[in-house]
Structure 1
Amino acid sequence: MARIFVTGSTAGVGRNAAEALVNDGHDVVLHARNAERAGHLGRLADRAQVLTGDLGDLAEVRQLARDLNAIGPIDAIIHNAGIIDDQRAETPDGLLRVLMVNALAPYMLSLLADRPARLVFTGSSMHRGHDGALDDMAWTRRRWSASSAYGESKLLVTALSAAFARRVSAVCHTVDPGWVPTRMGGASASDPLDQAHVTQCWLATSAEEDSGGYWHHMRRQRPDPKVENLAFQDTVLDRFAQMTGVPAP
């Protein structure tokens, strides 16, 4: 059985993934933004270890990685946590919050953790397009668009996953869980919530050594062409290293 860390596991897709993994006998490490959110885990917390840390804060992400390493070797991380901001918001470090939570925190945790064998990132169909994503990552020069900023963060984390597939020893994949009726997705979302975590869990526990895939409901798909552009991938890594202070591999 594997030891798997699931970020954003208090509700929605992350909670369903954590519960499924626990039920299958895996050693699961749960994550909540703070102690108050951890209280929402209820009885699930009795069956797994729980770590807290705000993924929108560089110092807390570093501490979260230290706490994770103190538990012992992690076999896989499912980077499930994600946000969408109606208004432009910055972190205490002056970074764009939606970028920090959705992409920079997964970058940091993947490199600061004691090198898990498998990394599963959360993408979105909204990652497609965004031709100017590298020009104004912080959204300081453009009129704010919540959907576009979210989509750009998902483009960048998908490119990050593809870059890691080349440059770290872990098996890396991105999963588009679909538009599902979570707190973020809303009640009108059309994809089934009970299927959104299935591909995440399979990729986190599979013995397959293939890496660099983009998946939706157990089927491999082609991502936006920019994701497969090596120069684009390397630029994302360089920018993320500059923003976080964590050297790129």
Structure 2
Amino acid sequence: MARILVTGSTDGIGLETARTLQAQGHEVAFHARSAERAAGLGGEEVLVGDLASLEQTKALAAAAGKFDVVVHNAGIGGQDERAMTGDGIERTFQVNVLAPYVLTALMPRPQRLVYLTSGLESVGVADLADLQYERKPWHGMQAYSDSKLHDVALAFAVARLWPEVYSNAVDPGWIKTKLGGANATDELPIGAATQVWLATGAGDALVTGRYFKWRQQLRPNPAVNDRAYQDGLLRACADLSGVELPL
């Protein structure tokens, strides 16, 4: 059985993923952004850290220890207005992209990494010159789509640079959660199934540098295969966080 961390696992897809893995007998650590949210999980092992804070994200990485698998599930949706974190970084980019980058770079290298993305990565724009919407007009849904494109690029970059690690990206679908909204078409178990499959390395899940939805491999936005874009994104994340991805 594996030791697995699922970020953003106090509700929604993250909670469903963690509970399913736990039911299979795996040792699962949950993650909450605050002590208040952690308290709702009862006696589970819970790591606490707000991913909108670089200090807390780095502390989370230091406290986490060694895991066989990390599922980077935590994220936020499109914001109505451009908002900055206490680190002076645009919030959507910091939570959805920079935080999983920092955790990946600082935590001991696991056997398997799963990064949650969205089908909206298909309309994301790989604009390394303005990752934080400092110059172009703010558009919350586009910023979200861009962040999900960056997540796929991050997964693919790690797969390329760390060939001993299985690193993949997952679109869970339009799932009935707080983020998905009342009109979403699919139930929680569907949204968690692919992450569970990849996390356990079951059957034909031991692959890397792939993009999946519902356990089917899909073709992502072509931009994610551009090594210059991958490397530029890693460099931007390193510059913003002060943390280099070890090679």
Identity of aligned residues (%): 43
Question: Could you tell me how far 1:191 is from its partner in structure 2?
Answer: 2.5
Counterpart of 1:232? 229
**Mapping 1:15-94, distance limit 5 Å:** 15-41=15-41, 45-46=42-43, 48-69=44-65, 73-84=66-77, 85-94=79-88
Does 2:134 align with 1:128? no
Render the CA deviation track for 1:25-72: whole Å, top value 9, x for unaligned: 10001000001111222xxx43x3111000011110010011101xxx
CA distance in 2, matches of 1:20, 1:86: 33
Find the partner of 1:181 among 176, 180, 186. Answer: 176
| Conserved? CA contact 2:176–2:183, under 8 Å | yes
**CA-atom RMSD in angstroms:** 1.2
Counterpart of 2:214? 217
Question: Could you tell me how far 1:181 is from its partner in structure 2?
Answer: 1.4
Question: Could you tell me how far 1:14 is from its partner in structure 2?
Answer: 0.2
CA distance in 1, matches of 2:123, 2:22: 37
Higher mean C-alpha displacement, 183-192 vs 119-128: 183-192
Find the partner of 1:112 among 106, 110, 121. Answer: 106
Render the CA deviation track for 1:63-107: whole Å, top value 9, x for unaligned: 0011101xxx21000000010222111111101111111111111
1:80 is aligned with what amino acid?
Answer: N
CA distance in 2, matches of 1:132, 1:114: 28
CA distance in 1, matches of 2:25, 2:70: 16
Question: Could you tell me how far 1:184 is from its partner in structure 2?
Answer: 1.1
CA distance in 1, matches of 2:124, 2:207: 28
Counterpart of 2:8? 8
CA distance in 2, matches of 1:118, 1:86: 34
The number of equivalent residue pairs is: 242
